[in-house]
Structure 1
Amino acid sequence: MNIKDAKEEIRRTLRAYTAPEGYRIPRVRQRPILLIGPPGIGKTAIVEQVAEECQAGFVSYTMTHHTRQSAIGLPFLKEKDYEGKHFSITEYTMSEIIASIYQYMEDSGHKTGILFIDEINCVSETLTPVMLQFLQNKTFGNHPVPEGWLIVAAGNPPEYNQSVREFDIVTMDRVKYMEIEAELSVWQDYARRANIHPAVSSYLALHPEHFYCMESNADGKHFVTARGWEDLSCILYSYESLKEPVTELLFGEYLRKEAIARSFSLYYRWYEKEKKDPRLADFLTGKLTDPSLKESLSNAPLEERFAAASLIASFLKNRFESWSEKKEELLKYRELFSDWHRQESGLSDFLKKRLESLVIRRKNALISIPDALWEQKLLEGLEDFALSLPQETQEENVRSFYAEKRAAFQKTEETLAESVRLACSLLEPDNFADPPYLYLITELSKNPLSASFLGSHLVEAYLNASSGLLVSDREAALKKAVRELSPNSL
């Protein structure tokens, strides 16, 4: 199972366990979920995402940081009488973990949620029976996990952690077991949404075999994980924005296999080289018509052409984001002017009331802070425009204002379509299965904004490239072509 399928199954399980009466699975049949998979593939992240997307609570504990006492509670003596005889018996205070759920419910108002227990199979010998009891009975000590809370536990397979303790069949027969594997195609979908550094995403398209690696030999442990790639992406963005030098040592700090770190270092130098070449941006904006750029790229090594494809995809991604923002702005103008047209008031008075309404919506959390700030900026900008208009010509001037905005937006669309055409022509190969070209077409097809634009705007060069293959076919061809054309350096 890949991480995407696991996330969807957790979402379904949460819904089934917290459904209204008549649809809900009986509590006795509500098995805890046990996620087993290699480190760094996003097990914790998907559980948090499910809780957030389902508007459920989320409480997380890493069991390697806990003792038996914090898990089941502290013992205390209680006096009891049985059959006329007096006894002192041992009871336990509420577990810290269970207490934290009740506290979370009180603080947040969430009555349902997910209790996430990480590294559940790496606990000490004294804590192992407690974990078995927890998975079998959904209790810590004498106190059950509150109703409406889904238990999700995660651990690593034994080959990744020497302290792993395997669960017995009795326990395994009481959990919903999910074995997760690292899968690059799923991570690439995530990488597009998370804005992973283009050098990282394009390198992994060129070297998919380097996405995840876990080895042990006489020299020690050597590993590369999805978490490592994402963290490397973050530090690259930061260093580049701060103008800090990116040295070869940086890659080895995140990619803990020397051969892969060295390979990515070489690729990143190609990426830097292409990034510093002003001809690429000039060509895509139509400022450069000299065919020498295409000739030099067609004769360049595979890694350099892939780096260029990555930069082109990144350039177009920024343009599509700008196009989307301008589209939303134009739609907002149209909505505002339509509302104003239906009211018998001056434009200034109308905008003043909209700003007052915005304050109320923001105060009552009916609009997000970024959307509120964006709308406030737009309204305040229109206020200055409205004050400059004579009352008797307001409607005519508003129509002219909107027409200018619409004309500017149409020009943006024409320019963007031309940039896509130029990008496709720059990398267009004699052989359709050329990996850099396939990478660019795949990125254009999979990015939601570019797919939306290209679905409603005819760009013949893109249509010619994409008409022959579905996205899945292009990905398969890309992987096959990379294996044939790119030598394995490890």
Structure 2
Amino acid sequence: MNPQSVKRSLTHLCKKKVPVFLWGPPGIGKSSIVAQIAKEENISYIDLRLSLLDPTDLRGIPFFSTKEETAIWAPPSFLPDGSQEKGILFLDELNTAAPMVQASAYQLILDRKIGEYTLPDGWAIVAAGNRESDRGVVFRMAAPLANRFVHLEMDVNVDDWRTWAVGVGIDASIIAFISHRPDALFTFAQTDSRAFATPRTWEYVNHIISSEPEADLIMPMVSGAIGEELAAAFLGFRSVAGDLPDLDMIMEGTCKDVPSEPSALHILSAALTMRVDDTTSSKKLNNLVSYTLNMPAEFAVMIVQDLRERKIELDHVDSWTLWMKKFNTLLH
């Protein structure tokens, strides 16, 4: 399933408190999607990395109660205590946890309680883990535990990633490079290198670029995130960014120059898309649409499709009729 389909499915299942197990290779944003749902639904979110826990960490520690004259379990403080009515308890790396930890989680998932602890009614449980084929250390999940979940498998999707990347302000050169080389978003299955490209490591590249490191550090740092070969290709692609037309002049309607280099056009298209938001004036939108009339068709359409996916209305700008006349047959 692509990330958007997974997100929609999780939203429905969490509302019904149906336990879900989210499968997928490392670095594709499984935990990010669950956190995003909690944020959008305005509910609490607790992320537990089960591979770091011992069985007693989840079940709690027994102690003798002089009042009850019996041993009782002290529940861990990191589990929901009822102070937040609704939320998602995210059990990450469940199948990399030791079997005894999985057994403790099984009771929590099956009965919504463990020891003296009971999960509040308004909380949903979502678990996640890598597949056995993903070269990680995983323990086969017991059939009774697996049967307690609805299983969803998440795949990398370039269009979904691009929409996310534009929304959070990922560097335009990264978005443009992935648009130009969709295979570069995820290279986990294509390499045995320690460093490989995933949505997570491209986010690291974004942080590296935004930190403005010295020139001699950029290549080794980016290589350390996505691998040397891909880093060289990306930085070569990015080197044309300095020759781009001034974005402000394009938006003001005072620049008509269009680059001829495909890599420059990719970066320019991504950068222009990111300049537009809900507050952008009709005048600037009109200037942008007018500018795209002089671009190669694939890039003009790329910009408009990105804006439409973000619900930016263009029908009201003066140059839209001319744009539709020229490129309408290419829209999909």
* 3-state SS of 1:202 partner: helix
> Corresponding residue for 1:248?
219
Structure whose CA Rg is larger = 1
For 1:231 and 1:13, the matched residues in 2 are separated by: 31
Kept in 2: contact 1:205–1:439 (CA 8 A)? no
For 2:237 and 2:147, the matched residues in 1 are separated by: 48
CA distance change for structure 1 residues 446 and 424 in 2, over 3 Å: closer, same or farther? farther
Alignment of 1:200-219 (within 5 A): 200-215=174-189
Kept in 1: contact 2:65–2:71 (CA 8 A)? yes
For 1:45 and 1:145, the matched residues in 2 are separated by: 23
Using CA pairs below 8 Å that are at least 6 residues apart, which structure has the higher relative contact order? 2
For 2:329 and 2:165, the matched residues in 1 are separated by: 26
* % same residue: 22
> Corresponding residue for 2:318?
458
> Corresponding residue for 1:232?
205
- TM-score, scaled relative to structure 1: 0.60
CA distance change for structure 1 residues 236 and 458 in 2, over 3 Å: closer, same or farther? same
Kept in 2: contact 1:95–1:141 (CA 8 A)? no
* 3-state SS of 1:92 partner: strand
Q: CA RMSD in A?
A: 3.1
For 1:461 and 1:62, the matched residues in 2 are separated by: 54
Kept in 1: contact 2:7–2:33 (CA 8 A)? yes
> Corresponding residue for 1:10?
10
Kept in 2: contact 1:112–1:148 (CA 8 A)? yes
Shift of 1:282: 5.4
> Corresponding residue for 2:97?
123
* 3-state SS of 1:115 partner: strand
* 3-state SS of 1:165 partner: coil
1:421 corresponds to which of 290, 293, 305: 290
> Corresponding residue for 2:53?
66
Q: Unmatched 5+ residue regions in structure 1?
A: 18-30, 82-87, 299-303, 328-411, 472-490
Shift of 1:268: 1.0
Kept in 1: contact 2:89–2:123 (CA 8 A)? yes
For 2:219 and 2:152, the matched residues in 1 are separated by: 38
Are 1:258 and 2:228 counterparts?
Answer: yes
Kept in 2: contact 1:33–1:153 (CA 8 A)? yes
Amino acid at match of 1:439: M
1:94 corresponds to which of 39, 52, 75: 75
Amino acid at match of 2:222: F
Q: Unmatched 5+ residue regions in structure 2?
A: none
Kept in 2: contact 1:316–1:420 (CA 8 A)? no
For 1:443 and 1:326, the matched residues in 2 are separated by: 15
Are 1:159 and 2:133 counterparts?
Answer: yes
Shift of 1:144: 2.6
Shift of 1:38: 1.4
For 2:132 and 2:249, the matched residues in 1 are separated by: 53
Q: For this pair of structures, how many residues does the alignment match?
A: 330
> Corresponding residue for 2:279?
325
Kept in 2: contact 1:64–1:122 (CA 8 A)? yes
Shift of 1:317: 4.2
Kept in 2: contact 1:4–1:186 (CA 8 A)? yes
Kept in 2: contact 1:73–1:96 (CA 8 A)? no
CA distance change for structure 1 residues 282 and 170 in 2, over 3 Å: closer, same or farther? closer
2:241 corresponds to which of 230, 249, 271: 271
